[in-house]
């Protein structure tokens, strides 16, 4: 198994590493320059998982990536937009983002958002901002 990861700072699963205490792993910026999401990322051969936190009132500007994505909200509420469709995503809800779909998410002002995200490993965890002028 290849020990390299698609995302710098991610932890590689497999080869004897099968259990991960996400609360103790170092976090990375999941969308440098366009998102405030930060947390640990673990990559397997075909799937990568991240446990991300977005401080309240912050989020990710519109961006896209060639891999599809699932976002499961654990705490807080996200105001999201995927391909022009807006939604409010709270604890226990699952958000699907198709590959290459322009999307954004903002943590509401009431509290930080914690979410588990999963993407295929055809690309790293970060995407490409539609307008590269900075994180919100």
Per-residue model confidence as pLDDT tens digits over 64-108: 999 999 999 999 999 999 999 999 999 999 999 999 999 999 999
Q: Which domains does the chain have, with CATH numbers?
A: 34-124 (2.60.120.10)
Whether the per-residue pLDDT at 1 is higher than 70: the answer is: no
Contact 56, 113 (CB under 8 A): yes
Whole-structure pTM value = 0.91
- Measured distance CA(44)–CA(35) in Å, rounded: 24
Length of the chain: 136
Where does the chain show beta strands of DSSP type E?
11-12, 28-29, 38-39, 41-43, 47-54, 59-64, 69-75, 78-82, 85-89, 94-97, 103-107, 113-120, 128-129
Q: Is beta strand 41-43 parallel, antiparallel or unpaired with respect to 11-12?
A: parallel
Tokens of 10: 């991610």
What is the per-residue pLDDT across 9-47, written as a single tens digit (0 to 9) for each? 999 999 999 999 999 999 999 999 899 999 999 999 999
Which pLDDT value is given to residue 71?
Answer: 98
């Amino acid at each position: 198994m290849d020990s390299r990861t698609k995302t710098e700072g991610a932890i590689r699963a497999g080869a004897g590493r099968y259990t991960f205490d996400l609360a103790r792993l170092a976090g990375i910026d999941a969308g440098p320059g366009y998102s405030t999401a930060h947390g640990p990322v673990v990559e397997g051969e075909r799937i990568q998982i991240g446990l991300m936190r977005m401080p309240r009132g912050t989020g990710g500007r519109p961006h896209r990536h060639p891999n599809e994505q699932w976002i499961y909200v654990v705490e807080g509420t996200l105001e999201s937009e995927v391909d022009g469709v807006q939604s409010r995503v709270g604890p226990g809800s699952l958000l699907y983002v198709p590959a290459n779909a322009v999307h954004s998410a903002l943590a509401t002002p009431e509290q930080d958002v914690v979410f588990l995200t999963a993407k295929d490993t055809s690309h790293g965890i970060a995407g490409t901002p539609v307008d590269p002028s900075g994180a919100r």
